[in-house]
């Protein structure tokens, strides 16, 4: 499978649209190399200062349980210019590995258009700020009444809370536009080697096997339901014929015994 081309799309905003990019990659690895690639990607994010990488989530299953297939997930937030170097790193073999050991199985990119949300937030923030300024002006008038000062103070507290909430939301949206999320799934299609590997593989497939068998049994039962009344009628008729035949045989034997001298 072809590797990801980091130049396939611009890594910076090229129009007035405010887009938040999310990338999903699935990488196939030998089972014994999943942990090494997980640790390398995680450490690259945490220790490479030039990337300005933020580790959002990281998890790993080493495959020692019955599933037997190691797998790991890592999600990071990166500035636009750091996306391509990070993707190149996580899709490249580590020292001592062959090129075919790392296979990019799937990739996808999704962009959320936040233009309207950011513009609406900016307008609301401007309106709230202007309203706070008017309240400050009213409060600064000479000889205000105590009741008016109390109402203004309450309204100012309310408006200030709304401004802080709107500002936090705007900063969150701006962060999504200024950075990109990269999610990497490290997968192995093979169970770990060893004498118990076939048993682990069978255990891993036990649920699916049970579901398939149960589904086949259920289909057989459902398919046979319409025939059940006919089968019952047939059984009743057969029993009636058998009894009638038995009575005829008994009468024949009694008649024969009476006819003998």
Q: DSSP 3-state assignment of 259? A: helix
List, run by run, the mean pLDDT of 10-residue segments along the chain (261 residues).
42 69 96 94 96 96 69 96 96 92 94 95 96 92 85 94 96 96 90 54 64 78 78 82 74 62 52
Scanning the chain, the segments in alpha helix (DSSP H) are 34-47, 80-90, 115-139, 146-178, 197-204, 206-224, 228-259
Report pLDDT for 258. Answer: 58
Q: Where are the alpha helices (DSSP H) in 107-196?
A: 115-139, 146-178
pLDDT digits (tens, 9 = 90+) for 52-95: 999 999 999 876 655 568 899 999 999 999 999 999 999 999 99
Residues 6+ apart with CB under 8 A from 20: 111, 112, 114, 173, 176, 177, 180, 181
Other beta carbons less than 10 A from residue 92's beta carbon: 13
The residue length of the chain stands at: 261
Distances (CA, A) of 243 to 229, 232, 247, 249, 250: 21, 17, 6, 10, 11
Model confidence, pTM = 0.63
Structure tokens at 148: 């008016």
In angstroms, the CA 261 to CA 259 distance is 6
């Amino acid at each position: 499978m072809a590797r990801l081309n980091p130049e396939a799309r611009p890594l910076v905003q090229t129009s007035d649209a405010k887009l938040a990019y999310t990338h999903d990659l699935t990488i196939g690895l030998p089972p014994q190399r999943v942990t090494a690639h997980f640790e390398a990607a995680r450490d690259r994010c945490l220790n490479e200062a030039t990337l300005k990488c933020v580790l959002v989530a990281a998890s790993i299953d080493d495959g020692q349980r019955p599933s037997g297939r190691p797998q790991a997930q890592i999600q990071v937030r990166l500035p636009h210019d750091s996306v391509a170097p990070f993707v190149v790193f996580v899709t490249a073999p580590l020292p001592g590995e062959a090129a075919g050991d790392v296979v990019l199985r799937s990739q996808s990119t999704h962009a959320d258009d936040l233009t309207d949300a950011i513009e609406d937030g900016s307008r609301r923030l401007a309106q709230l700020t202007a309203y706070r300024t008017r309240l400050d002006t009213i409060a600064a008038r000479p000889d205000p009444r105590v009741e008016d000062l109390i109402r203004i103070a309450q309204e100012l507290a309310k408006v200030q809370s709304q401004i802080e909430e709107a500002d936090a939301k705007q900063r969150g949206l701006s962060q999504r536009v200024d950075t990109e999320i990269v999610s990497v799934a490290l997968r192995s299609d093979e169970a770990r080697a060893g004498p118990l590997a076939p048993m682990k593989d069978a255990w891993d497939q036990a649920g699916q096997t049970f579901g398939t068998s149960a589904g086949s049994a259920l289909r057989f039962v459902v398919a046979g339901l319409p025939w059940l009344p006919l089968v019952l009628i047939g059984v009743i008729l057969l029993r009636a014929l058998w009894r009638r035949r038995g009575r005829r045989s008994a009468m024949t034997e009694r008649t024969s015994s009476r006819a003998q001298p």
